[in-house]
C-alpha cells in the first residue's frame, strides 16, 4: 500500500473511488464496496501511476525513476478528489484488498469471503482490530460476545483493548457446565448457540462480534440470548457484510457496524 500512502500524503481531502490491482473500491463512510475489474491491458483496466492534483484534477509531474519502480507493484487511481464528504479512513481499503474471495465454496454458486488471508497480513489485521477498538473504547461496554468460530478471532483482542470481558457464544455441546441456548433458523432446519450461565450479568452492556453478516440469523440469536438475561446489546459488528442477503434488515433497530460491504 506504499502507493496509496504516497497519494494520501498529498493531503487530497476526499476520495470516493480507489482502484488497486484491477479491484475497484468505493468508499462510503467507514465501509468499502469492492468490484472486480477486467484483468486486461485495455485502457479501461489500466491504472494511473501518477498522483492527481486535488485542486485541478490533473496529473502531477512525474517523480524520479526510483519512485516509479516502488509503485510498479501496486498502482493506485484516485478519482473524484474533493467530492466525497463521507470518506473517513483509508485503512479499510487495505483490509478489503486483504480478503480473498473464493468462488463455488463451500458449494457451487457461493462466493466465499475468506478472512484467513487478512490474518496473514499483520498490518491489515491490526488495522481491523484498531478500527473496532477506536469505535467502542469509552462506550461503557463490559462484554464482547464473539460468535463461533471467527468471532473468536476478532473478539478477544477488542475486549482486551477496551477493558471488557470476552464471552464465547458456541455451537451446541461445545461448552462444559450449565448453559443457556437460543435457536435460530437455517436454510434447511435449525441450529442453536449457547452461552455459559453466569458469564454475563443483568445490566451489562455488550458488543456482539462476528466476521461476517449474511442472513443475520446467528446475530439475531446472539442478541436474543444476551437480552434474555438482561444484557443491553449496544451494537453488532462484523468485518464483512453481504447486503444482498438482507441480514441487516433482520436486526431491526439494532445498530450494525461493518468495515467491508461485498457486492
Yes or no: say if 252 and 216 are a contact pair by the CB < 8 Å rule. no
The CA-atom distances, in angstroms, between 201 and each of 128, 140, 226 are: 28, 14, 9
Active site residue 187: yes
- The three-class DSSP label of residue 81 is coil
In the structure grid, which three cell numbers stand for residue 253, read together? 433497530
The CA-atom distances, in angstroms, between 73 and each of 10, 17, 22, 155 are: 20, 19, 12, 33
Q: What angle do CA 27, 113, 218 make, to 5 degrees?
A: 100
Q: What angle do CA 176, 179, 182 make, to 5 degrees?
A: 130
Q: How far apart are CA 80 and CA 16, in angstroms?
A: 6
Closest CA to 133 of 151, 117, 155: 155
Active site residue 150: yes
The residue annotated as part of the active site, out of 150, 170, 235, 241, is 150
The residue annotated as part of the active site, out of 72, 73, 187, 244, is 187
* Active site (catalytic) residues: 150, 187
Amino acid at each position: 500500500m506504499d502507493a496509496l500512502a504516497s497519494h494520501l500524503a498529498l493531503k487530497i481531502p476526499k476520495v470516493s473511488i480507489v482502484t488497486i490491482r484491477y479491484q475497484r473500491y468505493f468508499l462510503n463512510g467507514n465501509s468499502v464496496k469492492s468490484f472486480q475489474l477486467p484483468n486486461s491491458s485495455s485502457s479501461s483496466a489500466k491504472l494511473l501511476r501518477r498522483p492527481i492534483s486535488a485542486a485541478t484534477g490533473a496529473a502531477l509531474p512525474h517523480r524520479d525513476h526510483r519512485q516509479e519502480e516502488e509503485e510498479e507493484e501496486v498502482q493506485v487511481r484516485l478519482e473524484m478528489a474533493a467530492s466525497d464528504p463521507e470518506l473517513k479512513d483509508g485503512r479499510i481499503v487495505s483490509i478489503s484488498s486483504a480478503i480473498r474471495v473464493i468462488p463455488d465454496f463451500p458449494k457451487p454458486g457461493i462466493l466465499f469471503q475468506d478472512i484467513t488471508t487478512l490474518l496473514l497480513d499483520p498490518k491489515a489485521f491490526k488495522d481491523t482490530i484498531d478500527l473496532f477498538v477506536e469505535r467502542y473504547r469509552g462506550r461503557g461496554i463490559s462484554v464482547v460476545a464473539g460468535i463461533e468460530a471467527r468471532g473468536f478471532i476478532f473478539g478477544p483482542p477488542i475486549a482486551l483493548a477496551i477493558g471488557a470481558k470476552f464471552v464465547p457464544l458456541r455451537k451446541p455441546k461445545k461448552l462444559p457446565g450449565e448453559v443457556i441456548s437460543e435457536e435460530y433458523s437455517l436454510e434447511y432446519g435449525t441450529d442453536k448457540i449457547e452461552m455459559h450461565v453466569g458469564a454475563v450479568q443483568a445490566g451489562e452492556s455488550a458488543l456482539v462480534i462476528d466476521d461476517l453478516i449474511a442472513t443475520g440469523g446467528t446475530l439475531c440469536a446472539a442478541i436474543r440470548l444476551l437480552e434474555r438475561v438482561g444484557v443491553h446489546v449496544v451494537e453488532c459488528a462484523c468485518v464483512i457484510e453481504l447486503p444482498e442477503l438482507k441480514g441487516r434488515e433482520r436486526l431491526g433497530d439494532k445498530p450494525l457496524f461493518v468495515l467491508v460491504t461485498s457486492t
